[in-house]
Amino acid sequence: IIEGEVASLGEFPHMVALGFDRGNGYQFDCGGALISASYVLTAAHCIINLERVEPTIIRAGVVQLGGNTFDDKTDYRIAQSYVYPNYSRSLKYHDIALLRLQRPVEISSTLNAACLYTSDADPDAPVTVTGWGRTSTTQNLKSDILLKATISSVSRNQCAPHYNAWRKLPRGIIPEQLCAVDPDGNSDACQGDSGGPLQVSTSEDSRYSVVGVTSFGSGCGSATPGVYTRVSRYLDWIENIVWPN
């Protein structure tokens, strides 16, 4: 997160880090969101990547990542990953996936599932993006503490010109995507934040609803909106896996 603020423990109890084992301890290169005690919502590109290394654990219920070895108190093994069937790595479409945990998390004040945002409309209230990703565009530094940034959704009409005919996105922004930017052009998600949630606070209780999954962007911390996978368009697919009955 570029130009973010430090999140407090329990503020985003659904926020998890995905741990990748490349041979010398876990690296936490993607985020995710608990949507039930046993399932994490994340990005497909966190599962299917060039290195062909899938995440094997999630770290949950913490703001500080800390060590890179397995910790029984915070870490949960991934039993199965579900990549959305129509995910296109080249077009960056349908960048959404689910992870099933080997055992359910123990729900507490610092560890809890988020709600899913069910409306296809862009949220008009401010949206918050969270993650342990890059904090600078000039230095390759990630954050060990969870950061949050408040940004605003941007309509497809306003967002599309930034990406139409963009060399990496020949078909532009589709309704299954959502764009968001800091109107002041500073705060943003960046590399390492993807897979994590874009969320809105719900009025009824203190819980957040996940409206987007951080997917990609043209750079970070500029006036170019970031692109998120619009969760409301995938509710049937999610429900069939997480709550089949």
Catalytic residues, which ones?
45, 95, 194
3-state secondary structure of 143: coil
Q: Which member of 42, 143, 214, 229 binds ligand 4AZ (CB under 6 A)?
A: 214
- Which residues are bridge partners to 210 per DSSP? 116, 199
Q: Select the residue whose beta carbon is closest to ligand 4AZ and give its number.
A: 217
CB of 71 to ligand 4AZ, least distance (A): 25
CB of 239 to ligand 4AZ, least distance (A): 27
Q: Tell me the CA end-to-end span of the chain in Å, nearest whole number.
A: 37
**Lookup: tokens for 167:** 């060399």
Provide the 8-state DSSP code for 8: P
Q: Which member of 199, 226, 231, 234 binds ligand 4AZ (CB under 6 A)?
A: 226
* Interaction of residue 63 with ligand 4AZ, rule CB under 6 A: no
What are φ and ψ of residue 228, in 5° steps? -125, 150
* Interaction of residue 189 with ligand 4AZ, rule CB under 6 A: yes
* Interaction of residue 188 with ligand 4AZ, rule CB under 6 A: yes
Sign of CA dihedral 27, 16, 150, 147: negative
**Measured CA distances, 33 to 25, 109, 198 (Å):** 22, 15, 10
Judged by beta carbon, residue 194 or residue 199, the one nearer ligand 4AZ is: 194
Distance (Å, whole) CA 172 – CA 166: 7
CB of 181 to ligand 4AZ, least distance (A): 9
Alpha-helical (H) ranges within 143-188 are 156-163
Build a one-symbol-per-residue string for 145-184: x at contacts with ligand 4AZ by CB under 6 A, - elsewhere.
----------------------------------------
Question: Which residue ranges make up the site for ligand 4AZ (CB under 6 A)?
Answer: 188-191, 193-194, 214, 216-217, 220, 226
